[in-house]
């Protein structure tokens, strides 16, 4: 009896190890892309590359102008000129729109990506997954983007919109009131009530990087505060009538109103747990808030 018990104990001890070794055999290694460099427009750039490659590789676009593309899974591209897009048209296709200027009508729902090769207008109340536009893109009010939207020339966003994970443009990204975002990139990103004003006098000039907890700076409309370096804080950052040459970074909340960050010669960032942009804000570069905590007040 005791021999059986000992055998059982021995077997119970060895068995899990032998089993785990067999089950874990094979190759599994965390991959690193040695060529990776950070790009705030990464989703859109990568998407365009894949679509363009698929279209180039397709020896001839088939009769119904359908091309296959490998994104995270196999997808189909519907390529050509369209009169209108509706949900019922080709619900499982990525649209590549070749019209010189195209309008997505009010209330359209499209659950796949859209790629407009020229200008694009998105009317009120649309619900779209992801949009790439090689021209100028205008979004009207109350539009919901689930993943990302990117326009090469410019992106103008009306009020009450949700821009998903990334809203970006190589050119100007202009935002009206009551929008929600996670990440923005534009050169520059501007908000409603924008004034291009030059200043000769400043109420205070801070010569270097500011590192305080919290940071609250307020200049006047005619004499703003001028910060020549970056601003970092573990607490909230609140700026009104301020010009900042460098990056603004807070582990908590950031509020900006009548503020210029960066310059045409220097790309910078505004990053915080929550980021609220008020009127007349101009940021040359990148804005990031934690998911759903970015808004245009």
Partner 1 sequence: MGGIIILILKGYILTVAGLCALYAIRHLIFAYDRLLGKQRIFYGDIIDDELPSVSVLVPMHNEEKVAPNILKLLVEADYPRDRYEVIPINDHSEDKTKEIIDEFAQKYDFIHPLHRYSGKRGKPAGLNDALKMVKGEIVLIFDADYLPPKGIIKELAVNFKDPIVGAVMGRVIPINADKNLLTKLLDLERCGGYQVDQQARYNLNLIPQYGGTVGGFRKDIVLETGGFDENVLAEDTELTYRMYTSGYKVVYANRAECWEEAPEDWEVRARQVKRWSRGHNQVMFKYFFKVLKSKHLTFFQKFDGILLLMVYLIPALLLLGWLDLLILFFLGDINIIAPVFVMLVLLLFSGIGNFAPFYEIATGTMIDGLTKRVRLLPFLMFNFVFNGVYITLGFWQAFLDFVKRNREIHWDKTERFREEEVVE
Q: Where do contacts with partner 1 occur on this chain (CB under 8 A)?
A: 16-17, 20-21, 23-24, 26-30, 32-38, 40, 209, 211, 230, 232, 246-247, 249, 251, 265-269, 271-273, 285-286, 288, 290
The total number of residues written for the chain in this structure? 297
Q: Is the dihedral of CA 32, 34, 37, 39 positive or negative?
A: negative
Least distance CB 168 / partner 1 (angstroms): 12
Burial state string for 23-45 with b = 16 or more CB within 10 A and e = fewer than 16: eeeeeeeeeeeeeeeeebbbbbe
Q: What is the DSSP letter of 105?
A: P
Query: Exposed, middle or buried, 49 (CB in 10 Å: 0-12/13-18/19+)?
Result: exposed
Burial class (CB in 10 A: 0-12, 13-18, 19+), 125: middle
CA dihedral 142, 147, 148, 149 (to 10 degrees): -40
**Residue 190 CB burial class (10 angstroms; 0-12, 13-18, ≥19):** buried
The closest alpha carbon to 67, from 75, 81, 77, belongs to 77
Residue 133, classed as helix, strand or coil, is strand
Q: Give least dist CB 236 to partner 1, A.
A: 14
State the minimum distance, in angstroms, from the CB of residue 193 to partner 1.
Answer: 26
Are the C-beta atoms of residues 247 and 272 closer than 8 Å to each other? no
CB nearer to partner 1: pick between 139 and 261:
261
How near is the Cβ of 235 to partner 1 at its closest, in Å? 13
| Residue 220 C-beta: closest distance to partner 1, Å | 28
Residue number with CB closer to partner 1 (5 or 21): 21
Nearer to partner 1, 25 or 88 (CB): 25
Residue 102 Cβ vs partner 1, minimum distance, rounded to whole Å: 31
User: For residues 29 and 74, which CB has a smaller minimum distance to partner 1 in the complex?
Assistant: 29
User: Per the structure block, which two tokens stand in for 35?
Assistant: 């060529």
* Nearer to partner 1 among residue 31 and residue 92 (C-beta): 31
Of residues 17 and 74, the one with the C-beta less far from partner 1: 17
The residue (of 45 and 109) whose beta carbon lies closer to partner 1 is: 45
CB of 46 to partner 1, least distance (A): 15
């Amino acid at each position: 009896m005791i021999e059986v018990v000992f055998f059982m104990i021995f077997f119970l001890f060895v068995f899990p190890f032998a089993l785990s070794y067999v089950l874990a055999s094979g190759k599994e290694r965390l991959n690193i892309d040695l060529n990776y460099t950070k790009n705030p427009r990464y989703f859109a750039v990568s998407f365009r590359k894949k679509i363009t490659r698929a279209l180039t590789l397709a020896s001839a676009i088939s009769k119904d102008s359908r091309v296959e593309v490998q994104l995270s899974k196999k997808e189909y591209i519907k390529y050509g000129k369209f009169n209108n897009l509706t949900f019922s048209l080709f619900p499982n296709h990525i649209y590549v729109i070749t019209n010189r200027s195209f309008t997505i009508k009010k209330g359209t729902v499209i659950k796949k990506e859209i790629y407009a090769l020229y200008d694009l207008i998105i009317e009120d109340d649309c619900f779209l997954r992801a949009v790439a536009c090689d021209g100028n893109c205008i979004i009207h009010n109350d539009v919901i983007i689930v993943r990302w939207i990117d326009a090469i020339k410019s992106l103008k966003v009306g009020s009450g919109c949700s821009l998903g994970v990334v809203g970006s443009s190589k050119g100007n990204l202009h935002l009206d009131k009551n929008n929600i975002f996670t990440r923005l990139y534009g050169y520059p990103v501007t908000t409603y009530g924008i004034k291009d004003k030059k200043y000769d006098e400043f109420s205070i000039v801070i010569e270097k990087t500011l590192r305080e907890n919290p940071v609250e700076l307020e200049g006047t409309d005619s004499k703003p505060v001028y910060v020549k370096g970056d601003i970092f804080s573990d607490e909230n950052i609140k700026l009104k009538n301020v010009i900042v040459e460098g990056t603004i970074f807070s582990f908590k909340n950031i509020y900006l109103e009548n503020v210029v960050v960066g310059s045409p010669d220097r790309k910078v960032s505004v990053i915080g747990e929550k980021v609220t942009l008020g009127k007349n804000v101009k940021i040359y570069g990148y804005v990031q808030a934690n998911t759903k905590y970015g808004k245009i007040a």
